[in-house]
Amino acid sequence: MSEKTDERRAARIAKHIRSFATAHGGSADGVVEYIGGISTRIALVGADGAWGDQVAPSLAVANRAAELSGITVHESFEGELGLKVRTGAYEWKRMAGLQLGGSQQS
């Protein structure tokens, strides 16, 4: 990928991150995580505890997107950030189904 292409991808991802933050209390925190192959995940937690993510094609693009978006980036989900995450009935049902050998679909 070219530097110009990477910058455009980072800007596009940053736009999605800012939209997420706006929709979930006006700010967001994130963790940049390598997920294998050529992908890196930016896991997000909004000010209201909602969570989401964006996937970038490389660590460099993910880090640049996080920088452009203005989120606070953490090293991991441990501690305060993990405590901010709020899950709803859908997540609990899905997690229970997975644990009990059920379907991932609801």
- For the chain, the distance separating the N- and C-terminal CA atoms, rounded to the nearest angstrom, is 38
Lowest mean pLDDT among 2-6, 29-33, 66-70, 84-88: 84-88
Q: What is the pTM of this model?
A: 0.79
| Tens of pLDDT, residues 20-68 | 999 999 999 999 999 888 899 999 999 999 989 999 999 999 999 999 9
Confidence of residue 97 (pLDDT cuts 50, 70, 90): low
What percent of the chain lies above the pLDDT cut of 90?
Answer: 61
Q: What's the structural domain count of the chain?
A: 1
Q: Is residue 28 part of a domain?
A: yes
Q: Is residue 105 part of a domain?
A: no
Provide the domain limits for residue 38: 3-99
Q: Is residue 104 part of a domain?
A: no
Other CB atoms within 10 Å distance of the CB of residue 90: 9
Q: Is residue 78 part of a domain?
A: yes
Q: Is residue 57 part of a domain?
A: yes
Q: Is residue 15 part of a domain?
A: yes
Q: Is residue 84 part of a domain?
A: yes
